[in-house]
Amino acid sequence: MIITAILIMAVFTVGTSTFLLNQSHAASINNTITQQGTKLNLKNNNNQEWEHIHLLIQNITTSNGTKQNFYIETWIKPGENTTIDLSNMLGYANHSLATGTKISVLSWSGLYATTPGTGDFSLSLQGWSNTTTPVNATIYHITQGSLPIATLPSSITGTTALIGTNPSDVTVTGENTANDVLFKQILLTIDPNGNLAITFPTPPTLCNTIAQTP
């Protein structure tokens, strides 16, 4: 199996993040998408399977100077995308993050569908600031073939983004975290144009289980 990270230049329409309304709890952070804020878009390029992406940001400084962990869960329908507003999450509202800001992310991903099997993972990442939609922001692709496909939780009916400061804020009933076998370490750096330069300190690798570190 071959894992690739491919960089291309492109512009595409930003998807709207939706929230689970039928869960026993709500995410602790509202993912309002701002115009000027720094945003990270995730696009599922698989046209048959859902992609689940768990993002863990540890010990990051927020706008009030405190350190905080953030847990992000995205469930993305085939061919759709969702956007995370990093500025809003960190308390900066409608302001872009400062040039040179670095955000280290640990991520685990898996494929889901109504019928189990195997499939190909294909995810695009793109980040930008100061506009509603990206302008000349690089898109970074991550692909992995022959991942196991788990059964999609019945509560997931549309593309969904959940953000919280505890794992319980974003846990979905019926999710199978043992299926999230593609591990990625991602470093986001704000460049002078407000775009996100994305690097992978270690190559995407296969793992056995998801780690949820409080």
Both tokens of residue 187? 């470093």
Residue 29, pLDDT > 50, answer yes
Place of tokens 């569908």: 113
More confident residue, 10 or 182: 182
pLDDT tens readout for residues 131-170:
999 999 999 999 999 999 999 999 999 999 999 999 999 9
Indicate whether 115 pLDDT > 60: yes
Please give the pLDDT value at position 12. Answer: 37
Cα–Cα distances (Å) from 199 to 16, 38, 62, 85, 187, in that order, read 25, 17, 22, 19, 5
For the chain, give the DSSP string. ---EEEEEE---PPPPP---SSSSS--SB--PPPSSS-EEEEEE--SSSEEEEEEEEEEEE-TTS-EEEEEEEEEE-TT-EEEEEHHHHTT--SSPPPTT-EEEEEEEEEEEESS-EEEEEEEEEEEE-SSSS-SSPEEEEEEEEEEEEEEPPTT--S-EEEEESSHHHH--TT--GGG--EEEEEEEEE-TTSPEEEE-SS--EE-SS-----
pLDDT tens profile 73-112 = 999 999 999 999 999 999 999 999 999 999 999 999 999 9
